[in-house]
Amino acid sequence: MPTATREIHLAARPEGWPTPDDFRLVETELPDPGPGEVLVRNTVMSVDPYMRGRMNDVKSYVPPYRLGEVLDGGAVGTVIASNDDSLAVGDTVLHQLGWREHALAPAAAFRHVDATGVDESAYLGVLGMPGLTAYVGLVAIAGLREGDRVLISGAAGAVGSLAGQIARLLGASAVVGSAGSPEKVAWLTDDLGFDAAVNYHDGAPLRLLEPHGPFDVYFDNVGGEHLEAAIALLSDHGRIAACGSIASYNEELPTPGPRNMFQVVTKRLRMQGFIVTDHADLAREYQRLARQWVADGELVHRETVVEGLDHAVDAFLGLHRGDNIGKMLVRL
Ligand code: NDP
Protein backbone atom coordinates (compact mmCIF):
# COMPACT_ATOMS: atom_id res chain seq x y z
CA MET A 1 0.00 0.00 0.00
CA PRO A 2 1.46 3.45 -0.87
CA THR A 3 2.47 5.54 2.14
CA ALA A 4 3.02 8.82 0.26
CA THR A 5 1.20 10.63 -2.51
CA ARG A 6 1.33 13.88 -4.48
CA GLU A 7 -1.26 16.64 -4.82
CA ILE A 8 -1.59 20.13 -6.25
CA HIS A 9 -2.04 23.03 -3.86
CA LEU A 10 -3.16 26.58 -4.53
CA ALA A 11 -0.03 28.57 -3.63
CA ALA A 12 -1.39 32.06 -4.46
CA ARG A 13 -4.66 33.52 -5.64
CA PRO A 14 -4.18 34.44 -9.34
CA GLU A 15 -4.75 38.03 -10.31
CA GLY A 16 -5.87 38.02 -13.91
CA TRP A 17 -4.31 35.16 -15.86
CA PRO A 18 -3.05 32.35 -13.60
CA THR A 19 0.65 31.45 -13.77
CA PRO A 20 2.53 28.28 -12.75
CA ASP A 21 3.68 30.11 -9.59
CA ASP A 22 0.09 30.12 -8.33
CA PHE A 23 0.30 26.34 -7.83
CA ARG A 24 2.55 23.91 -5.98
CA LEU A 25 3.03 20.17 -6.43
CA VAL A 26 3.34 18.77 -2.91
CA GLU A 27 4.29 15.32 -1.63
CA THR A 28 2.33 14.26 1.47
CA GLU A 29 1.89 11.22 3.68
CA LEU A 30 -0.91 8.82 2.83
CA PRO A 31 -2.44 7.30 5.98
CA ASP A 32 -4.17 3.90 5.97
CA PRO A 33 -7.94 4.11 5.49
CA GLY A 34 -9.84 4.34 8.79
CA PRO A 35 -13.18 2.68 9.56
CA GLY A 36 -15.67 3.27 6.73
CA GLU A 37 -12.98 4.86 4.56
CA VAL A 38 -11.88 3.98 1.06
CA LEU A 39 -8.55 4.57 -0.69
CA VAL A 40 -8.65 5.25 -4.42
CA ARG A 41 -5.81 5.53 -6.93
CA ASN A 42 -6.93 8.27 -9.31
CA THR A 43 -6.50 7.39 -12.96
CA VAL A 44 -7.93 10.39 -14.79
CA MET A 45 -9.04 13.82 -13.64
CA SER A 46 -11.04 16.64 -15.08
CA VAL A 47 -9.75 20.12 -15.91
CA ASP A 48 -12.60 22.63 -15.73
CA PRO A 49 -13.05 26.37 -16.31
CA TYR A 50 -15.10 26.78 -13.10
CA MET A 51 -11.95 26.02 -11.11
CA ARG A 52 -10.65 29.46 -12.07
CA GLY A 53 -13.53 31.13 -10.23
CA ARG A 54 -12.85 29.05 -7.13
CA MET A 55 -9.32 30.47 -7.00
CA ASN A 56 -10.77 33.91 -6.19
CA ASP A 57 -11.70 34.61 -2.59
CA VAL A 58 -15.29 35.56 -3.38
CA LYS A 59 -18.70 34.20 -2.47
CA SER A 60 -20.16 32.13 -5.29
CA TYR A 61 -22.21 28.97 -5.83
CA VAL A 62 -19.25 26.86 -4.63
CA PRO A 63 -16.80 27.83 -1.85
CA PRO A 64 -13.38 29.17 -2.91
CA TYR A 65 -10.31 26.92 -2.78
CA ARG A 66 -8.30 27.47 0.36
CA LEU A 67 -4.86 28.98 0.00
CA GLY A 68 -2.06 26.49 0.71
CA GLU A 69 -4.43 23.53 0.48
CA VAL A 70 -5.10 20.87 -2.11
CA LEU A 71 -7.39 21.73 -5.05
CA ASP A 72 -10.27 19.43 -5.89
CA GLY A 73 -12.25 18.53 -8.96
CA GLY A 74 -13.88 15.65 -10.81
CA ALA A 75 -11.88 12.44 -11.07
CA VAL A 76 -12.19 8.74 -11.78
CA GLY A 77 -10.11 6.12 -10.02
CA THR A 78 -9.75 2.53 -8.86
CA VAL A 79 -10.38 1.41 -5.29
CA ILE A 80 -7.15 -0.01 -3.84
CA ALA A 81 -8.30 -0.44 -0.22
CA SER A 82 -11.75 -0.38 1.30
CA ASN A 83 -13.09 -0.48 4.84
CA ASP A 84 -16.69 -0.21 3.68
CA ASP A 85 -18.94 -2.97 2.34
CA SER A 86 -20.33 -0.74 -0.43
CA LEU A 87 -17.04 -0.63 -2.37
CA ALA A 88 -14.53 -3.38 -3.18
CA VAL A 89 -10.92 -3.32 -4.31
CA GLY A 90 -10.88 -2.95 -8.12
CA ASP A 91 -14.13 -0.96 -8.33
CA THR A 92 -14.10 2.09 -10.63
CA VAL A 93 -15.40 5.20 -8.88
CA LEU A 94 -16.31 8.77 -9.81
CA HIS A 95 -15.72 11.49 -7.24
CA GLN A 96 -14.65 15.09 -6.56
CA LEU A 97 -11.23 14.46 -5.00
CA GLY A 98 -9.09 15.05 -8.06
CA TRP A 99 -5.87 17.09 -8.33
CA ARG A 100 -4.16 14.41 -6.25
CA GLU A 101 -2.83 10.97 -7.09
CA HIS A 102 -4.79 9.20 -4.34
CA ALA A 103 -8.13 10.02 -2.75
CA LEU A 104 -8.83 8.89 0.82
CA ALA A 105 -12.34 9.56 2.15
CA PRO A 106 -15.48 7.97 3.61
CA ALA A 107 -17.16 5.64 1.10
CA ALA A 108 -20.02 8.11 0.57
CA ALA A 109 -17.60 10.43 -1.27
CA PHE A 110 -17.32 7.92 -4.12
CA ARG A 111 -19.84 6.72 -6.70
CA HIS A 112 -19.32 3.28 -8.19
CA VAL A 113 -19.58 3.48 -12.00
CA ASP A 114 -19.88 0.75 -14.59
CA ALA A 115 -16.67 0.76 -16.63
CA THR A 116 -17.62 -2.08 -18.94
CA GLY A 117 -18.02 -1.05 -22.56
CA VAL A 118 -17.11 2.63 -22.02
CA ASP A 119 -13.85 4.41 -21.32
CA GLU A 120 -13.84 5.43 -17.67
CA SER A 121 -12.94 8.98 -18.75
CA ALA A 122 -16.38 9.26 -20.37
CA TYR A 123 -17.75 9.82 -16.86
CA LEU A 124 -15.88 13.14 -16.84
CA GLY A 125 -17.18 14.13 -20.27
CA VAL A 126 -19.98 12.81 -22.42
CA LEU A 127 -21.53 10.69 -19.63
CA GLY A 128 -20.65 13.16 -16.90
CA MET A 129 -20.99 16.78 -15.86
CA PRO A 130 -20.21 18.41 -19.27
CA GLY A 131 -22.75 16.23 -21.08
CA LEU A 132 -25.44 16.91 -18.51
CA THR A 133 -24.63 20.62 -18.68
CA ALA A 134 -25.22 20.62 -22.43
CA TYR A 135 -28.50 18.74 -22.04
CA VAL A 136 -29.81 20.87 -19.16
CA GLY A 137 -28.94 24.10 -20.98
CA LEU A 138 -30.77 23.05 -24.12
CA VAL A 139 -33.77 21.26 -22.64
CA ALA A 140 -34.50 22.77 -19.23
CA ILE A 141 -33.18 26.29 -19.77
CA ALA A 142 -33.52 27.15 -23.48
CA GLY A 143 -36.61 24.96 -23.93
CA LEU A 144 -35.26 23.65 -27.25
CA ARG A 145 -38.01 22.96 -29.78
CA GLU A 146 -38.01 21.03 -33.02
CA GLY A 147 -36.91 23.27 -35.88
CA ASP A 148 -34.97 25.74 -33.72
CA ARG A 149 -31.86 27.31 -35.18
CA VAL A 150 -29.16 27.10 -32.49
CA LEU A 151 -25.97 29.12 -31.97
CA ILE A 152 -23.24 27.80 -29.67
CA SER A 153 -20.10 29.60 -28.51
CA GLY A 154 -17.11 27.71 -27.12
CA ALA A 155 -18.42 25.12 -29.56
CA ALA A 156 -15.35 22.88 -29.77
CA GLY A 157 -14.98 22.50 -26.00
CA ALA A 158 -16.39 19.77 -23.77
CA VAL A 159 -19.83 21.30 -23.22
CA GLY A 160 -20.13 23.12 -26.55
CA SER A 161 -19.25 20.16 -28.76
CA LEU A 162 -21.85 18.02 -26.99
CA ALA A 163 -24.46 20.80 -26.94
CA GLY A 164 -24.25 21.22 -30.72
CA GLN A 165 -24.73 17.52 -31.39
CA ILE A 166 -27.46 17.10 -28.78
CA ALA A 167 -29.34 20.08 -30.21
CA ARG A 168 -29.34 18.38 -33.60
CA LEU A 169 -30.38 15.02 -32.09
CA LEU A 170 -33.29 16.76 -30.36
CA GLY A 171 -34.57 18.28 -33.58
CA ALA A 172 -32.77 21.59 -34.17
CA SER A 173 -32.97 22.54 -37.82
CA ALA A 174 -29.56 24.22 -37.87
CA VAL A 175 -26.58 24.35 -35.49
CA VAL A 176 -23.86 26.97 -35.84
CA GLY A 177 -20.74 27.17 -33.68
CA SER A 178 -17.98 29.60 -32.83
CA ALA A 179 -14.53 28.34 -31.80
CA GLY A 180 -10.94 29.52 -31.71
CA SER A 181 -8.99 27.79 -34.50
CA PRO A 182 -9.34 26.50 -38.08
CA GLU A 183 -8.81 22.94 -36.81
CA LYS A 184 -11.71 23.32 -34.37
CA VAL A 185 -13.96 24.82 -37.03
CA ALA A 186 -13.18 21.92 -39.38
CA TRP A 187 -13.91 19.38 -36.63
CA LEU A 188 -17.31 20.96 -35.94
CA THR A 189 -18.45 20.97 -39.55
CA ASP A 190 -16.69 17.83 -40.87
CA ASP A 191 -17.07 15.44 -37.93
CA LEU A 192 -19.82 16.73 -35.65
CA GLY A 193 -22.41 17.78 -38.20
CA PHE A 194 -22.54 21.49 -37.38
CA ASP A 195 -24.09 23.31 -40.35
CA ALA A 196 -21.54 26.09 -40.08
CA ALA A 197 -18.78 27.25 -37.76
CA VAL A 198 -16.61 30.33 -37.49
CA ASN A 199 -13.18 31.03 -36.04
CA TYR A 200 -13.74 34.07 -33.82
CA HIS A 201 -10.09 35.08 -34.21
CA ASP A 202 -10.95 35.99 -37.82
CA GLY A 203 -12.98 39.05 -36.81
CA ALA A 204 -15.83 40.37 -34.73
CA PRO A 205 -18.30 37.59 -33.79
CA LEU A 206 -21.25 39.64 -35.07
CA ARG A 207 -19.76 40.05 -38.53
CA LEU A 208 -18.73 36.38 -38.72
CA LEU A 209 -22.02 34.97 -37.44
CA GLU A 210 -24.47 37.32 -39.17
CA PRO A 211 -24.54 35.36 -42.47
CA HIS A 212 -25.60 32.25 -40.51
CA GLY A 213 -28.42 33.83 -38.48
CA PRO A 214 -31.03 34.43 -37.29
CA PHE A 215 -31.16 32.04 -34.34
CA ASP A 216 -33.87 30.92 -31.92
CA VAL A 217 -31.54 29.65 -29.20
CA TYR A 218 -28.10 30.77 -28.04
CA PHE A 219 -26.08 28.47 -25.78
CA ASP A 220 -23.57 30.86 -24.20
CA ASN A 221 -20.26 29.47 -22.94
CA VAL A 222 -18.28 32.64 -23.54
CA GLY A 223 -20.13 35.90 -22.78
CA GLY A 224 -18.59 39.20 -23.89
CA GLU A 225 -18.70 40.00 -27.60
CA HIS A 226 -20.29 36.64 -28.39
CA LEU A 227 -23.25 37.42 -26.16
CA GLU A 228 -23.67 40.83 -27.72
CA ALA A 229 -23.59 39.26 -31.20
CA ALA A 230 -26.13 36.64 -30.18
CA ILE A 231 -28.55 39.23 -28.82
CA ALA A 232 -28.31 41.00 -32.18
CA LEU A 233 -28.88 37.77 -34.12
CA LEU A 234 -31.69 36.18 -32.11
CA SER A 235 -35.21 36.18 -33.52
CA ASP A 236 -38.16 37.53 -31.57
CA HIS A 237 -38.80 35.38 -28.46
CA GLY A 238 -35.29 33.90 -28.73
CA ARG A 239 -33.88 32.12 -25.69
CA ILE A 240 -30.39 32.28 -24.20
CA ALA A 241 -29.05 29.51 -21.96
CA ALA A 242 -26.34 31.33 -20.00
CA CYS A 243 -23.91 28.52 -19.19
CA GLY A 244 -20.58 30.28 -18.84
CA SER A 245 -18.66 33.43 -19.55
CA ILE A 246 -15.09 32.26 -20.08
CA ALA A 247 -14.07 35.42 -21.96
CA SER A 248 -14.09 37.25 -18.63
CA TYR A 249 -12.78 34.63 -16.16
CA ASN A 250 -9.20 35.96 -16.24
CA GLU A 251 -10.03 39.66 -16.39
CA GLU A 252 -8.87 41.66 -13.38
CA LEU A 253 -11.70 44.18 -13.64
CA PRO A 254 -15.38 43.54 -14.39
CA THR A 255 -15.93 43.47 -18.16
CA PRO A 256 -18.60 45.65 -19.83
CA GLY A 257 -21.92 43.97 -20.55
CA PRO A 258 -23.57 43.78 -23.98
CA ARG A 259 -24.32 47.24 -25.37
CA ASN A 260 -27.53 46.09 -26.99
CA MET A 261 -29.52 44.96 -23.94
CA PHE A 262 -32.54 46.95 -25.09
CA GLN A 263 -32.99 44.33 -27.82
CA VAL A 264 -33.83 41.90 -25.01
CA VAL A 265 -36.93 44.06 -24.56
CA THR A 266 -37.79 44.78 -28.17
CA LYS A 267 -37.37 41.14 -29.26
CA ARG A 268 -38.89 39.76 -26.01
CA LEU A 269 -35.80 37.58 -25.45
CA ARG A 270 -35.42 35.33 -22.43
CA MET A 271 -31.98 34.82 -20.86
CA GLN A 272 -31.55 32.38 -17.98
CA GLY A 273 -28.43 31.29 -16.17
CA PHE A 274 -28.09 27.85 -14.67
CA ILE A 275 -25.78 25.65 -12.62
CA VAL A 276 -25.80 22.02 -13.66
CA THR A 277 -25.73 20.68 -10.10
CA ASP A 278 -29.23 22.12 -9.53
CA HIS A 279 -30.54 19.73 -12.18
CA ALA A 280 -29.57 16.29 -10.88
CA ASP A 281 -33.18 15.26 -11.57
CA LEU A 282 -32.31 15.16 -15.30
CA ALA A 283 -29.17 13.02 -14.86
CA ARG A 284 -30.85 9.64 -15.27
CA GLU A 285 -32.80 10.74 -18.36
CA TYR A 286 -29.65 12.21 -19.91
CA GLN A 287 -27.52 9.14 -19.11
CA ARG A 288 -30.03 6.87 -20.83
CA LEU A 289 -30.13 9.03 -23.96
CA ALA A 290 -26.39 9.67 -24.06
CA ARG A 291 -25.43 6.00 -23.71
CA GLN A 292 -27.69 5.14 -26.63
CA TRP A 293 -26.43 8.03 -28.78
CA VAL A 294 -22.80 7.09 -28.06
CA ALA A 295 -23.47 3.40 -28.78
CA ASP A 296 -25.16 4.34 -32.08
CA GLY A 297 -22.28 6.61 -33.06
CA GLU A 298 -24.55 9.65 -33.07
CA LEU A 299 -22.81 11.52 -30.25
CA VAL A 300 -19.10 11.94 -30.92
CA HIS A 301 -16.82 12.90 -28.06
CA ARG A 302 -13.19 13.80 -28.10
CA GLU A 303 -10.60 14.28 -25.36
CA THR A 304 -7.40 16.24 -25.07
CA VAL A 305 -5.31 14.25 -22.60
CA VAL A 306 -2.29 15.60 -20.74
CA GLU A 307 -0.10 12.99 -19.04
CA GLY A 308 0.75 13.12 -15.35
CA LEU A 309 0.08 15.31 -12.32
CA ASP A 310 3.34 17.15 -13.07
CA HIS A 311 1.63 18.61 -16.15
CA ALA A 312 -1.81 19.26 -14.64
CA VAL A 313 -1.14 22.97 -14.19
CA ASP A 314 -0.10 23.20 -17.86
CA ALA A 315 -3.42 21.56 -18.74
CA PHE A 316 -5.33 24.09 -16.66
CA LEU A 317 -3.50 27.06 -18.18
CA GLY A 318 -3.89 25.50 -21.64
CA LEU A 319 -7.64 25.15 -21.20
CA HIS A 320 -7.92 28.92 -20.87
CA ARG A 321 -5.78 29.43 -23.99
CA GLY A 322 -7.97 27.02 -25.97
CA ASP A 323 -5.40 24.19 -26.24
CA ASN A 324 -8.14 21.59 -25.87
CA ILE A 325 -10.45 20.09 -28.44
CA GLY A 326 -13.32 18.42 -26.60
CA LYS A 327 -12.79 17.55 -22.95
CA MET A 328 -9.50 18.51 -21.23
CA LEU A 329 -8.26 15.69 -18.99
CA VAL A 330 -5.16 14.71 -17.07
CA ARG A 331 -4.26 11.02 -16.97
CA LEU A 332 -2.46 10.00 -13.81
P1 NDP B 1 -14.13 23.96 -22.69
O2 NDP B 1 -13.80 22.54 -22.98
O3 NDP B 1 -15.07 24.67 -23.60
O4 NDP B 1 -12.77 24.76 -22.56
C5 NDP B 1 -12.74 26.12 -22.50
C6 NDP B 1 -12.67 26.72 -23.92
O7 NDP B 1 -13.03 28.09 -23.84
C8 NDP B 1 -11.29 26.73 -24.53
O9 NDP B 1 -10.99 25.51 -25.17
C10 NDP B 1 -11.33 27.91 -25.47
O11 NDP B 1 -11.60 27.45 -26.79
C12 NDP B 1 -12.53 28.74 -24.99
N13 NDP B 1 -12.14 30.10 -24.64
C14 NDP B 1 -11.19 30.51 -23.77
N15 NDP B 1 -11.13 31.85 -23.74
C16 NDP B 1 -12.05 32.31 -24.63
C17 NDP B 1 -12.44 33.61 -25.06
N18 NDP B 1 -11.89 34.72 -24.57
N19 NDP B 1 -13.42 33.70 -25.99
C20 NDP B 1 -13.99 32.59 -26.51
N21 NDP B 1 -13.65 31.33 -26.14
C22 NDP B 1 -12.69 31.19 -25.20
O23 NDP B 1 -14.71 24.07 -21.22
P24 NDP B 1 -16.07 23.44 -20.71
O25 NDP B 1 -16.77 22.80 -21.83
O26 NDP B 1 -15.78 22.65 -19.51
O27 NDP B 1 -16.88 24.73 -20.25
C28 NDP B 1 -17.46 25.59 -21.23
C29 NDP B 1 -18.20 26.71 -20.51
O30 NDP B 1 -19.26 26.16 -19.75
C31 NDP B 1 -17.34 27.50 -19.54
O32 NDP B 1 -17.74 28.85 -19.59
C33 NDP B 1 -17.71 26.90 -18.20
O34 NDP B 1 -17.49 27.78 -17.14
C35 NDP B 1 -19.17 26.61 -18.42
N36 NDP B 1 -19.74 25.55 -17.58
C37 NDP B 1 -20.89 25.87 -16.91
C38 NDP B 1 -21.54 24.93 -16.17
C39 NDP B 1 -22.80 25.30 -15.47
O40 NDP B 1 -23.31 24.52 -14.67
N41 NDP B 1 -23.35 26.46 -15.77
C42 NDP B 1 -20.99 23.55 -16.01
C43 NDP B 1 -19.80 23.32 -16.83
C44 NDP B 1 -19.20 24.30 -17.57
P45 NDP B 1 -11.35 28.37 -28.10
O46 NDP B 1 -10.15 27.84 -28.78
O47 NDP B 1 -12.61 28.16 -28.87
O48 NDP B 1 -11.15 29.77 -27.63
Domain-embedded: residue 192? yes
> Which range among 116-125, 181-190, 311-320 shows the weakest confidence by mean pLDDT?
116-125
Pairing outcome for strands 215-220 and 196-199: unpaired
Query: Does the C-beta of 222 come closer than 6 Å to ligand 1?
Result: yes
Q: For 4-28, what is each residue's pLDDT tens digit? A: 999 999 999 999 999 999 999 999 9
Q: For 34-84, what is each residue's pLDDT tens digit? A: 999 999 999 999 999 999 999 999 999 999 999 999 999 999 999 999 999
159, 192, 194, 286: residue to mutate for ligand 1 pocket, most atoms within 8 A of CB:
159
| 116/148 same-domain check | no
Ligand 1: distance of its center to the CA of 111 in Å?
26
Contacts of 176 (CB under 8 A, 6+ apart): 149, 150, 151, 152, 194, 195, 196, 197, 198, 209, 212, 213, 215
**CATH at residue 83:** 3.90.180.10
Structural domain containing residue 55: 3-122+302-331
Q: Rounded to an integer, what distance in angstroms lies between the CA atom of residue 149 and that of residue 168?
A: 9
Number of domains the chain is built from = 2
Domain-embedded: residue 287? no
Query: Does the C-beta of 130 come closer than 6 Å to ligand 1?
Result: yes
Cβ neighbours around 194 below 10 Å, total:
25
| 262/306 same-domain check | no
Provide the pLDDT confidence category of residue 187 given band limits of 50, 70 and 90: very high
| 231/171 same-domain check | yes
- The helix (H) or strand (E) run that includes residue 4 is strand 4-10
**8 Å CB contact between 246 and 160:** no
Residues β-bridged to residue 81: 39
Q: What is the Cα Rg of the chain in Å?
A: 20
Query: Does the C-beta of 17 come closer than 6 Å to ligand 1?
Result: no
**8 Å CB contact between 47 and 316:** yes
**8 Å CB contact between 75 and 44:** yes
Ligand 1: distance of its center to the CA of 185 in Å?
15
| 140/260 same-domain check | yes
Domain-embedded: residue 264? yes
Q: For 225-259, what is each residue's pLDDT tens digit? A: 999 999 999 999 999 999 999 999 999 988 889 99
